[in-house]
Amino acid sequence: MSHANARLTVHGRRLIVQRHQQGWKQAHIAAAMGVSRKCVATWISRHAAEGEGGLANRSSRPRTSPRRTAPEVEEAVLRARVTDREGPDVLGPKVGVPARTVSRILRRHQMPYLRELDPMTGEVIRSSKQSAERYERDYPGELVHMDVKKLGKIPDGGGWRAHGLAATQAAKGKRDKIGYDYVHSLIDDYSRLGYSEVLPDEKGPTCADFLERAAAYFAAQGITVIERVMTDNAFAYRHSADMKR
């Protein structure tokens, strides 16, 4: 069953169907998109049977859950959590269910973690580390994320993982510095389609040329218009005159 965190979005599933309609073999579609042949066959057959609606997300919840904890037991767990403010390892023996079951019940009912509560009153005093809402743009090209990752080059013959840290440090002063590689990436927010290149620097002209090549790649995949580009800490991306041209 498909779900909100599936490897393919609706756009990716539609791309499978489009490529199949263009005459691609299912094995070639699977290899190009990094999924299994069974996944490709599933979406092709579902689209044939249900049309566009067959590509939408569906709940992964089973129709029946005969082994689910009884409601009265869940209520007992929740009452014990509010009263005792203890973790699953303590509440489990008190209520008579495994600690893992207690954890699942607390998460199912969205009970706050103990670290978020005031130990004296039990009131929530700290915000959650995870956002309660996830966002996704409405269509491909509406927003793309652009970033660069600076990575130290690996010397010829291998680095410290191959020869050991001591041997690498001993030879460190005997060779010239080899510098860094810069991995530039562009990812579409809606479809999660990505494009990356390893380039020698992160200067303005390099970043601007990369964006043009990435946009051309996106256009070849069906994303012909990029409306907005978002980046965070790459200075050249945000302030370079070449990027603004």
Query: CA-CA distance, 79 to 175, in Å (whole number)?
Result: 66
CA distances from 156 to 69, 149, 153, 159, 233 (A): 59, 21, 9, 8, 31
Note whether 90 and 114 are within 8 A (CB).
Answer: no
Q: For residue 28, what are the contacts with CB-CB under 8 A and spacing of at least 6?
A: none
* Per-residue pLDDT, 230: 87
Domain 144-169+178-244 grouped into CATH 3.30.420.10: yes
Tokens of 180: 């860094």
Query: CA-CA distance, 101 to 109, in Å (whole number)?
Result: 12
Amino acid letter, 183: V
Among the listed residues 32, 30, 227, the one whose alpha carbon sits nearest the alpha carbon of residue 137: 227
Instruction: Locate the domains of the chain by residue range.
Output: 10-55, 67-134, 144-169+178-244
Among the listed residues 179, 216, 228, the one whose alpha carbon sits nearest the alpha carbon of residue 199: 179
Query: CA-CA distance, 82 to 130, in Å (whole number)?
Result: 22
Looking at the predicted structure, is the pLDDT value of residue 1 above 50? no
Over residues 125-165, the pLDDT tens digits come to 776 655 556 667 889 999 999 999 998 887 776 766 666 66
The distance from CA 52 to its chain's CA centroid, rounded to whole angstroms, is 25
Over residues 74-92, the pLDDT tens digits come to 999 999 999 999 999 999 9
- The model carries a pTM of 0.47
Note whether 186 and 213 are within 8 A (CB).
Answer: no
Note whether 235 and 228 are within 8 A (CB).
Answer: no
What single DSSP character describes residue 213? H
